[in-house]
Structure 1
Amino acid sequence: MIQLDALLCDCEHPTIAPSSAPIVEWVLEDEELLGDREPLLTSERPVVIDQLAAFGVETLRLTGTSGLDAVDELIERADDHGLETTLRTSGQQLDQSRLESLADSGLTRVSVLVEGLSTPREQHTSSDAIDAALETLRAADDTDLATELRFPLQAESVTDMEEIYDLAALLSADRFRLTHVPEPELDEEQRRRAVRRLADLARDAHERGTHLETVLSGGIDAGYVAEYAQDRLEEACSTDVREALRERLGTAPSPPVAKLGPAGRVYPGPFWDRYALGSVRDRPFGSIWTDESNPLLERLRHEEAGLPDRCRGCQFGDICSGGSRGRALAVHDDPFEPDPVCYVDKEAAAGGSPAESTAD
């Protein structure tokens, strides 16, 4: 995670220190996920929380929770182990009473998804999902929960970003998170322009004294953020920004995010739906994640072996790590091809020193 407001406004290191264990994104429901046709039983799920805690996982994201069945028990179990838990909603609306109940169970943060504001009204499902997300944020304002608005950058909604950012602040959200998804209709200049504008918004908000934590989700943004700092900030501050990015992303576990499917299958990251490392039904999460006999995991952990040729000479390799190997797999059918959403100026980035940090 790249915390723009801390980096660019105060020239400080990100406030969240990296953990030696990955963040775990647990997808509780997903009918399309290959190999996950027999979901974990309600009685099996608490055992998984125990496994994650035993391995040292500190952050848990719960997604795919349309029914929210038994989610309180999971959250309470995670809280007992000291895990910071985020509930990521996508389309469902939670009222204040439900949010307070989740907070009482130990939930740390509720995160809503807003994909855009220009959806035609006849597309009722999309419009209803947007309304549900915004109403959930309104309801959460009167609770002790931290809140987050997630905005995936897409061609049809990129022009909505600034308005959605303002909405997040208006609804008292604590965090605005921009994420990159493989989107062929969105070119590199559009991505650069969006991230540049987001950085400007974060700095403007800081100058006005209005705080909205503004984050980018992955290392793929690190190169451009370093470029932005070099162009817009004083030299000493720009140097601090790059060093903070290198320390924050370069010391993250590799891969930094593990995905856990509904049936307990473990994947190397959010975009790795076709490749499972094993199942927590067969062996503990920690044994799966540290399996030295798995050639894919070994290659991902060895920086240069896991990077595409183009990334090895890139001047941002030590802070970007080649971006997401999962996105490369999803688009190129090969995890060791370049990240399809890389948007740094390729000519300007060429000629740097080889990468030394890990890939997500």
Structure 2
Amino acid sequence: MFRISQYLRELAQAQATGSYPTPRERHAKGPVVIWNLIRRCNLTCKHCYALSADHDYAGELSLPEVFTVMDDLKAFGVPALILSGGEPLLRPDLFEIAARARDLGFYTGLSTNGTLIDAPMAARIAGAGFDYVGISLDGLKPTHDKFRRLDGAFDRSLAAIRHLATHNVKVGLRFTMTALNAHDLPALLQLMQDEGANKFYFSHLNYAGRGNIHRDKDAHHQATRTAMDLLFDHAWAAAQAGSLDDYVSGNNDADGPYLLQWVRQHLPQWEEALRQRLVAWGGNASGQMVANIDNLGHVHPDTMWWHHDLGSVRARPFSQIWNDTSDPLMAGLKQRPRPVQGRCASCQYLSICNGNTRVRAQQLTGNPWFEDPGCYLSDAEVGAVSTPFETPANKHARRTIEIAHV
């Protein structure tokens, strides 16, 4: 996750005081864990990484197993749990899990589509003490209902936001942009203001699950830049006004270098200070400071790596799995710098973005270390040249041609 507002609030403070603020130190030793407690969902969204459907899935972790894992996560220094699905509200023991998380002192978030949150459910969520509830909206009503494949989904999710607001629950909007819904982003940012939501999470489409199947519909790079400019402008206006509204992005760590370029244009005196902050941030955290546990208890480097299994919490504690670098992918993800190839290897921003999101390269080329095809910065901006990727088939064909010409 890239915390746009955090950096722009620091820049606003620097502008006001003439000195860049000293950042708070991070004390957590373990990763944030996104936990897909259940795969069942009442929706079948086009871009779902979990490929969920509205039926039960066999073999999911029982409540005692969940509690055992939570104890290990706490001892390992995990600071936060994001309870997700499928649709987590379909899990009958969700509120027992949330109570246990609160008792153990985790920051606890709930990631939901919102369609099941009526007034009584909103009261129950508020009573459970969730630190944050994220509700997914893919656009205004026509766009959202098409993405979610359910007429009325938008109205139900919007009602959920309003129900939660009556209980002063911190609510954020979650938006995954593609070429099919980019036009609704300005309206959703306005909706955030109108409804008093506290956070806007902008997710770049990643190549996993249905997102992989539909990657040909991903927004073009110029549309991505336009969207990020809009987010930066909103976050900067909020920071200058002293607002605590949060704008964050995810699944494309080129956002860090792009913000640095934005600052170079608008606040050049703070470029070097921000560069140091972004290097300290460290870019992509898959396999490092963000982790995923799926509904069956399998551990993954993050939610977009469901096709890569690191091990089961039924066989080994999460803490042992996470520290095990015998898996080549995990060894590379934990390496600094990562063993990236193509233009990523010589990119001037590698120390900031950490090679960006490796799953896109793996899904497109079969090589997790190839340059990230989702990076929307130009060769000139990164100071490196893109390299055509090779599959085993075209590599063999090229080699055959080379031999024929010897």
Query: What TM-score do the two structures reach when normalised by structure 2?
Result: 0.79
Per the TM alignment, residue 226 of structure 1 is displaced from its structure 2 partner at its CA by 1.1
2:82 is equivalent to residue 61 of structure 1: yes
2:110 is equivalent to residue 90 of structure 1: no
2:336 is equivalent to residue 315 of structure 1: no
Q: What is the CA–CA distance in structure 1 between the aligned matches of 2:162 and 2:110, rounded to whole Å? A: 16
Aligned to 1:5: 5
Secondary structure of the corresponding residue to residue 282 of structure 2 = helix
**Of 266, 273, 277, which aligns to 1:232?**
266
Q: Is the 8 A contact 2:286 2:301 kept in 1?
A: no
Per the TM alignment, residue 250 of structure 1 is displaced from its structure 2 partner at its CA by 5.5
Q: Deviations over 1:161-214 (max 9, x none)?
A: 111011112111111110111343411111111101111122233445554211
**Comparing 255-264 and 331-340, the one that deviates more:** 331-340
Q: Is the 8 A contact 2:36 2:293 kept in 1?
A: yes
Secondary structure of the corresponding residue to residue 110 of structure 2 = strand
2:66 is equivalent to residue 45 of structure 1: yes
Q: What is the CA–CA distance in structure 2 between the aligned matches of 1:310 and 1:289, rounded to whole Å? A: 29
Secondary structure of the corresponding residue to residue 111 of structure 1 = strand
**How many residues are treated as equivalent by the alignment?**
350
2:134 is equivalent to residue 134 of structure 1: no
**Cα–Cα, structure 1 residues 324 and 204, in superposed 2: closer, same or farther, change >3 Å?**
same
**Cα–Cα, structure 1 residues 260 and 61, in superposed 2: closer, same or farther, change >3 Å?**
same
After superposition, where does 1:325-336 map in structure 2 within 5 Å? 325-336=358-369
Aligned to 1:111: 134
Q: What is the CA–CA distance in structure 2 between the aligned matches of 1:81 and 1:122, rounded to whole Å? A: 38
Secondary structure of the corresponding residue to residue 26 of structure 1 = strand
**Structure of higher RCO (CA pairs closer than 8 Å, 6+ residues apart):** 1
Q: Is the 8 A contact 1:308 1:322 kept in 2?
A: no
2:234 is equivalent to residue 201 of structure 1: yes
Q: Is the 8 A contact 2:37 2:83 kept in 1?
A: yes
Q: What is the CA–CA distance in structure 2 between the aligned matches of 1:106 and 1:121, rounded to whole Å? A: 28
After superposition, where does 1:1-360 map in structure 2 within 5 Å? 1-11=1-11, 17=26, 19-30=28-39, 37-64=58-85, 65-117=88-140, 119=142, 123=146, 125-182=149-206, 183-185=215-217, 186-208=219-241, 210-218=243-251, 219-233=253-267, 235-249=268-282, 254-350=287-383
Indicate the structure (1 or 2) with the bigger Cα radius of gyration.
2
Per the TM alignment, residue 329 of structure 1 is displaced from its structure 2 partner at its CA by 2.6
Structure 2 segments unaligned to the other structure (5+ residues): 12-20, 41-49, 207-214, 386-406
Q: Is the 8 A contact 1:13 1:244 kept in 2?
A: no
Q: Percent identity?
A: 28
Q: Counting helix residues as a fraction of each chain, which structure ranks higher?
A: 2
Q: What is the CA–CA distance in structure 2 between the aligned matches of 1:128 and 1:94, rounded to whole Å? A: 14
Per the TM alignment, residue 221 of structure 1 is displaced from its structure 2 partner at its CA by 1.2
Q: What is the CA–CA distance in structure 2 between the aligned matches of 1:292 and 1:122, rounded to whole Å? A: 43
Q: What is the CA–CA distance in structure 2 between the aligned matches of 1:13 and 1:325, rounded to whole Å? A: 31
Structure 1 segments unaligned to the other structure (5+ residues): 353-360
**Comparing 6-15 and 331-340, the one that deviates more:** 6-15
Q: What is the CA–CA distance in structure 2 between the aligned matches of 1:17 and 1:200, rounded to whole Å? A: 27
Per the TM alignment, residue 42 of structure 1 is displaced from its structure 2 partner at its CA by 2.6
Q: What is the CA–CA distance in structure 2 between the aligned matches of 1:327 and 1:16, rounded to whole Å? A: 31
Aligned to 1:355: none
What is the identity, as a one-letter code, of the residue corresponding to 1:228? W
Q: What is the CA–CA distance in structure 2 between the aligned matches of 1:106 and 1:85, rounded to whole Å? A: 8
Q: What is the CA–CA distance in structure 2 between the aligned matches of 1:98 and 1:118, rounded to whole Å? A: 22
Secondary structure of the corresponding residue to residue 303 of structure 2 = coil
Per the TM alignment, residue 346 of structure 1 is displaced from its structure 2 partner at its CA by 2.0
**Comparing 36-45 and 168-177, the one that deviates more:** 36-45
Per the TM alignment, residue 92 of structure 1 is displaced from its structure 2 partner at its CA by 2.5
Per the TM alignment, residue 298 of structure 1 is displaced from its structure 2 partner at its CA by 1.2
What is the identity, as a one-letter code, of the residue corresponding to 1:5? S
Q: Is the 8 A contact 2:81 2:107 kept in 1?
A: yes
Secondary structure of the corresponding residue to residue 306 of structure 1 = coil
Q: Deviations over 1:257-298 (max 9, x none)?
A: 211111100011111111110000011100000013222211
Per the TM alignment, residue 98 of structure 1 is displaced from its structure 2 partner at its CA by 2.2
Secondary structure of the corresponding residue to residue 195 of structure 1 = helix
Q: What is the CA–CA distance in structure 2 between the aligned matches of 1:79 and 1:279, rounded to whole Å? A: 24
Q: Is the 8 A contact 1:96 1:143 kept in 2?
A: no
**Cα–Cα, structure 1 residues 83 and 343, in superposed 2: closer, same or farther, change >3 Å?**
same
**Comparing 300-309 and 68-77, the one that deviates more:** 300-309
Q: Is the 8 A contact 1:6 1:14 kept in 2?
A: no
Query: What TM-score do the two structures reach when normalised by structure 1?
Result: 0.88
